[in-house]
Amino acid sequence: MCRRILKGRWGDVSNIVDFSRISGVSLEIIYRELIRYSRHNLPIDHCLPEDHATLRSLPIELLTQLEVPLLTFQEADVYEIHRARSTGTLHF
């Protein structure tokens, strides 16, 4: 099993309110998209709470780099790590 490796933490973001301030995305849009993603992609027992106050209190991290393992062409169980970086004003 491969897992994504996250790197490059952005220090001044610790909750959704901070993320909204840094990214310029409204809290309502963030809440709506988190809840929609949770409903459609997570198992029932791992879904995010839909209460905005609870979502606001959850800790988050803002990252500048994401390492993505990709299966090597024509080789089973051999992966290459590709680094997706944020080089502009937007972060992961």
Comparing CA positions, the residue from 55, 35, 59, 65 lying closest to residue 47 is 35
Whether residue 65 has pLDDT greater than 50: yes
Asked if 37 contacts 55 with a C-beta cutoff of 8 angstroms, the reply is no
pLDDT tens column, 1-51: 444 444 555 567 888 998 888 888 899 999 999 999 999 998 989 899 999
Q: What is the pLDDT, as a whole number, of residue 10?
A: 56
Q: How far apart are CA 2 and CA 26, in angstroms?
A: 33
Q: What is the pLDDT, as a whole number, of residue 88?
A: 61
Asked if 48 contacts 55 with a C-beta cutoff of 8 angstroms, the reply is yes
Element (H, E) at 18: helix 16-23
- Helices then strands, each counted (H, E), the chain: 3, 3
pLDDT tens column, 66-75: 778 888 888 7
Q: Is the pTM of this model over 0.85?
A: no
- The alpha-carbon radius of gyration of the chain (Å, integer) is 16
